[in-house]
């Protein structure tokens, strides 16, 4: 960089405080400052109280306004103004949005704001403006703030340095795990689901008793999240434990549903709980949209009958529809099933962002509670010692009351005289001088002695507490037991809402079930045009084709079927029958649907049967057996099965239904051998089927020895030769064979392989 200033500086004639800076260094410095500000001051919660700064400031401001659970409600606008003016110099709408969320029982498992008015709903509607709504704190918020004025946490200056705000709250409630948190910072994010407070307290008590407890054991107490809107978690225990162990993972949540009988075999499905953070109205809109697009052929209607509780009614199209299969379709296509990602990225000590395991989060919260207990006890001990010092001075005054009165009345500097005469401290002398005359009664002296004895006992207890780790942990355990009692599963707020279940095993192919099953006839022309006509057509004589084109194959199928195509390049291609062009017109070219080279063509088309086996062969006489389930292609490029090299090409594919193979060559010789002599493979060149000096293989057929060999003549008549008439053509694989039987078609073909 040049040393010469770009702009005039302070010493130049024009003056000015402008100095040149290195752009890279300036950007790095400012972006780092922005990133740290976002991470620590906005997006990530503190592991100790589970709050972000905006939430912490809202609760603290509400406490300063005396909005405790027993107090009356005040306008949210007043709270927002207090927060914005004193603690959080950002937009009022951002503060109000955060406040609204703390009041929504469908967003927060244990609400911290008790709202009065319209605070939004599970449909996704927004809350009313802050001038219309009122609020106060809940008992949960009070637990988080409990002891904040007893030197339990550090305070720092507010943004304008005119006030102070807490760095963290005392947090007698395990808020981070109980209510969860989510946020996006710079280069990192957090997403923590809510949990059941009763279960968390049980795990924390176990961790206090057994500091080296394994995460698997803690997972016995905390089996998984507990979402405000309920739902069903369908993950296995192993997956949940692994997510808690690493601090990263996800939870699969499904809506809770039940079948309601309507009598006479009819029924309807009622959804009573939906996944967390899914707006009900948008969910119903999505189902209705899929219904209109005919992507849910088994669903007849959907309607919302929700009032206070969620009630979404689904009507099946017919009584024969399996409700489990219908729901599996909906889980797959809609937000009735969602995944909640787990990323326990939090601020340890309010400073260090890191991903913690469930056990580490609990351990750090307990350490915070110990620190709060020690600071609170030390604060109380100082207060007691100060009060005892004052009481000791009072007792000296009562024992020498006449002398004290004389000094106060006649001495020029009574305070100094009292200190010198009775060896008092500054505090004691000041307290005696401020003593009211009506307190100089015998009764007051008795009360002072009683208070002195009581405070002395409390001081001894606090001193023992501060010296003993065991007593400290016992005190923390007692506090957690009290919290567990307040938020027990027996209470309406504390009951577990989210349940656990295993996803049902469905034998039916859901892809097929999503398609309405209708009969069709697939027409493939010689030039590779394909179409699907409704119904199973028997009379194909009236089919219309382009000039110079004709019928190659006609397949009777259903819209739920897959159509397999075998090409001369040895590849299989797969088409969905329901996606084929309609029967009006001539259809569409196959080459627009799949990626096939220009110098190759289609050999055969047939309806897919997964349990069947196929025999594939090349023009040079090589072939093998392949399971049909292995040839289904997942992409337009097809699946290579038979390996061929030019000028050789794939020529034949026939179903395997029998125990012998008949091969006919272009030289009109036929060979029959046992099917067991062929290999079963998923891909390759195969083995030689038929050896001929000139020409290749013309056709092949697999048949059963007991049924005999069958072929069709040019007139469509069927001929069958029994086994005893075929013995002269029986040999071993790769032999040259003998001339075909009398009456065999001149086309050297047995006829269509697929019926």
Can you say how many angstroms the Cα of residue 527 is from the centroid of all Cα atoms in its chain? 49
Burial letters 207-244, b for 16+ CB under 10 A, else e: bbeeeebebeebbebbbbbbbbbbbbbbbeeebbbebb
Token pair in block for residue 473 = 């942990």
Token pair in block for residue 94 = 């951002």
Q: Are 192 and 176 in contact (CB under 8 A)?
A: yes
- Cα torsion 8, 14, 16, 19 to 10°: value is 10
Residue found under tokens 């207090």: 82
Residue found under tokens 């056990």: 359
Q: Are 347 and 47 in contact (CB under 8 A)?
A: yes
Instruction: Reply yes or no on whether 96 is catalytic.
Output: no
Token pair in block for residue 731 = 């040999």
Q: Which of the following is catalytic: 34, 60, 110, 132? A: 132
Can you say how many angstroms the Cα of residue 161 is from the centroid of all Cα atoms in its chain? 42
Alpha-carbon Rg for the chain, nearest whole angstrom, is 42
| 3-state secondary structure (DSSP) of residue 175 | helix
Spatial distance between the Cα atoms of 656 and 195, rounded to a whole number of angstroms: 57
Of 632, 638, 580, give the one whose Cα is nearest residue 611. 632
- Cα torsion 109, 112, 117, 118 to 10°: value is -40
Burial letters 534-544, b for 16+ CB under 10 A, else e: eeebeeeeebe
Token pair in block for residue 22 = 């290195």
| Cis amide leading into 647 (omega within 30) | yes
Spatial distance between the Cα atoms of 729 and 736, rounded to a whole number of angstroms: 10
Spatial distance between the Cα atoms of 9 and 3, rounded to a whole number of angstroms: 13
Of 388, 442, 428, give the one whose Cα is nearest residue 414. 428
Token pair in block for residue 738 = 């003998």
Spatial distance between the Cα atoms of 178 and 258, rounded to a whole number of angstroms: 28
CA distances, 227 to each of 177, 346, 492 (Å): 11, 20, 14
Concatenate the DSSP letters of all residues of 217-275 into one string: HHHHH--S---TT--EE---HHHHHHHHHHSEEEEEEE-EEEEEEEETTEEEEEEEE--
Strands 499-500 and 232-233: parallel
Token pair in block for residue 678 = 């062929």
Q: What is the largest CA-CA distance in the chain?
A: 152
Concatenate the DSSP letters of all residues of 90-140 into one string: S-HHHHHHHHHHHH-TTT-SS-SEEEES----TT-PPPPPTTT-EEEE-HH
Spatial distance between the Cα atoms of 576 and 608, rounded to a whole number of angstroms: 10
Of 686, 705, 611, give the one whose Cα is nearest residue 643. 686
631: burial class by Cβ within 10 Å (0-12, 13-18, 19+)?
A: buried
Token pair in block for residue 78 = 């007043």
Give the phi and the psi of residue 399 in degrees, each rounded to 5. -70, -25
DSSP 8-state secondary structure symbol assigned to residue 402? H
Of 495, 513, 91, 182, give the one whose Cα is nearest residue 327. 513
* Residues taking part in catalysis: 132
């Amino acid at each position: 960089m040049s040393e010469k200033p770009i702009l005039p500086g302070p010493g130049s004639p024009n003056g000015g405080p402008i100095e040149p800076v290195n752009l890279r260094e300036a950007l790095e410095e400012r972006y780092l400052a922005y990133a740290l500000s976002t991470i620590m001051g906005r997006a990530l919660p503190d592991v100790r109280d589970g709050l972000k700064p905006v939430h912490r400031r809202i609760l603290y401001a509400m406490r300063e306004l005396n909005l405790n659970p027993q107090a009356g409600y005040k306008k949210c606008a007043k709270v927002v103004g207090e927060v914005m003016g004193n603690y959080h110099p950002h937009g009022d709408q951002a503060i109000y949005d955060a406040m609204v969320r703390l009041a929504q029982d469908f967003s927060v498992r244990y609400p911290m704001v008790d709202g009065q008015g319209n605070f939004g709903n599970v449909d996704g509607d927004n809350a009313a403006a802050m001038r219309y709504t009122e609020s106060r704190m809940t008992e949960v918020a009070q637990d988080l703030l409990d002891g904040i004025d007893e030197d339990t946490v550090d305070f720092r200056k507010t943004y304008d340095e005119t006030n102070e705000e807490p760095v963290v709250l005392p947090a007698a409630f395990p808020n981070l795990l109980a209510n969860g948190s989510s946020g996006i910072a710079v280069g990192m994010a957090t997403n923590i689901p809510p949990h059941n407070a009763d279960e968390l307290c049980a795990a924390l008590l176990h961790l206090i008793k057994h500091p080296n407890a394994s995460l698997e054991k803690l997972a016995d107490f905390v089996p998984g999240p507990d979402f405000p809107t309920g739902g069903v978690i369908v993950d296995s225990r192993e997956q949940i434990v692994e997510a808690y162990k690493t601090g990263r993972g996800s939870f699969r949540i499904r809506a809770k549903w039940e079948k309601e009988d309507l009598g006479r075999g009819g029924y309807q499905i009622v959804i009573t709980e939906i996944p967390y953070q899914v707006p009900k109205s948008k969910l119903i809109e999505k189902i209705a949209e899929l219904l209109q697009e005919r992507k849910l052929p088994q669903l007849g209607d959907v309607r919302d009958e929700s009032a206070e509780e969620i009630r979404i009614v689904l009507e099946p199209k017919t009584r024969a529809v399996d409700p489990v299969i219908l729901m599996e379709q909906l889980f797959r296509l809609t937000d009735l099933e969602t995944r909640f990602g787990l990323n326990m990225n939090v601020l340890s000590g309010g400073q260090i962002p890191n991903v913690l395991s469930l056990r580490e989060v609990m351990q750090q919260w307990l350490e915070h509670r110990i620190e709060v207990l020690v600071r609170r006890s030390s604060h109380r001990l100082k207060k007691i010692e100060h009060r005892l010092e004052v009481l000791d001075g009072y007792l000296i005054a009562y024992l020498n009351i006449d002398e004290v009165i004389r000094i106060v009345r006649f001495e020029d500097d009574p305070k100094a005289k009292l200190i010198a005469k009775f060896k008092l401290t500054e505090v004691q002398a000041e307290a005696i001088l401020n003593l009211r005359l009506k307190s100089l009664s015998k009764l007051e002296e008795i009360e002072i002695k009683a208070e002195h004895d009581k405070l002395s006992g409390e001081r001894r207890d606090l001193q023992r507490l501060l010296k003993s780790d065991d007593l400290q942990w016992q005190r923390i355990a007692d506090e957690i037991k009290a919290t567990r009692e307040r938020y027990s599963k027996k209470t309406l707020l504390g009951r577990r809402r989210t349940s656990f279940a295993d996803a049902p095993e469905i034998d039916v192919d859901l892809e097929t079930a999503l398609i309405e099953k209708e009969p069709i006839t697939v027409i493939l022309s010689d030039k590779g045009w394909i179409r699907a006509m409704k119904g199973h057509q028997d009379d194909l004589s009236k089919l219309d084709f382009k000039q110079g084109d004709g019928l190659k194959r006609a397949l009777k199928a259903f819209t739920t079927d897959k159509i397999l195509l075998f090409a001369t390049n040895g590849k299989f291609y797969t088409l969905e029958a329901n996606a084929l062009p309609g029967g009006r017109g001539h259809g569409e070219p196959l080459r627009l649907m799949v990626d096939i080279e220009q110098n190759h063509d289609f050999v055969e088309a047939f309806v897919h049967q997964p349990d069947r086996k196929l025999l594939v062969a090349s023009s040079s006489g090589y072939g093998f057996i392949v399971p049909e389930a292995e040839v289904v292609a997942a992409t337009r490029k097809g699946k290579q099965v038979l390996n061929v090299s030019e000028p050789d090409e794939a020529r034949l594919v026939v179903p395997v239904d029998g125990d012998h193979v008949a091969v006919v060559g272009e030289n009109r010789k036929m060979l029959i051998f046992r099917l067991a002599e062929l290999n079963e493979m998923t891909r390759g060149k195969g083995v030689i089927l038929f050896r001929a000096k000139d020409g290749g293989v013309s056709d092949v057929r697999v048949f059963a020895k007991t049924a005999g060999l069958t072929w069709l003549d040019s007139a469509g008549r069927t001929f069958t030769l029994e086994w005893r008439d075929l013995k002269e053509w029986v040999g071993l694989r790769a032999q040259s064979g003998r001339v075909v039987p009398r009456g065999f078609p001149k086309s050297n073909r047995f006829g269509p392989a697929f019926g």
